[in-house]
Amino acid sequence: MNALTLSIALVFVLIPIVLSKSFRLDLEKDTIIAVVRSVIQLFIVGYLLTFVFESGGYFFITLMVIIMIVAAVQNVARKKTPIKGITWKVAATFIFIEILTQGILIGFQITPPTAQYIIPISGMIIGNSMVLGILFLNRFISEVEAREDEIDLILSLGGTTKQAIHTQLIRAIKASMIPTIESQKTIGLVQLPGMMSGQIIAGASPIQAVQFQLLILFLLLTTASVTSIMLGFLSYPTLFNERKQLIRMR
Average confidence (pLDDT) over 150-174: 93
183 by Cβ neighbours in 10 Å (0-12 / 13-18 / 19+) ranks as middle
Residue 122 has pLDDT above 80, yes or no: yes
Percent of the chain topping pLDDT 70: 97
Residue 74 has pLDDT above 90, yes or no: yes
* pLDDT tier for residue 55 given thresholds of 50, 70 and 90: confident
Q: What is the pLDDT of residue 190?
A: 67
Higher pLDDT, 207 or 227: 227
238 Cβ contact list (under 8 Å, min separation 6): 83, 84, 85
Average confidence (pLDDT) over 99-126: 94
Amino acid at 103: G
> 243 vs 86, 141, 155, 156, 224, CA distance in Å?
21, 21, 11, 12, 33
- For 114: left if phi > 0, alpha if psi spans -120 to 50, otherwise beta; the answer is beta
Q: What is the pLDDT of residue 192?
A: 66
Residue 188 has pLDDT above 80, yes or no: no
Q: What is the pLDDT of residue 52?
A: 87
Average confidence (pLDDT) over 171-195: 82
| C-alpha closest to that of 160 among 237, 231, 229 | 237
Higher pLDDT, 156 or 3: 156
Residue 107 has pLDDT above 90, yes or no: yes
241 by Cβ neighbours in 10 Å (0-12 / 13-18 / 19+) ranks as exposed
Average confidence (pLDDT) over 29-48: 92
Average confidence (pLDDT) over 91-97: 97
* pLDDT tier for residue 250 given thresholds of 50, 70 and 90: low
H or E segment to which residue 35 belongs: helix 28-55
Residue 220 has pLDDT above 70, yes or no: yes
Average confidence (pLDDT) over 169-198: 83
Measure the CA–CA gap between 49 and 36, rounded to whole angstroms: 20
* pLDDT tier for residue 226 given thresholds of 50, 70 and 90: very high
Residue 37 has pLDDT above 90, yes or no: yes
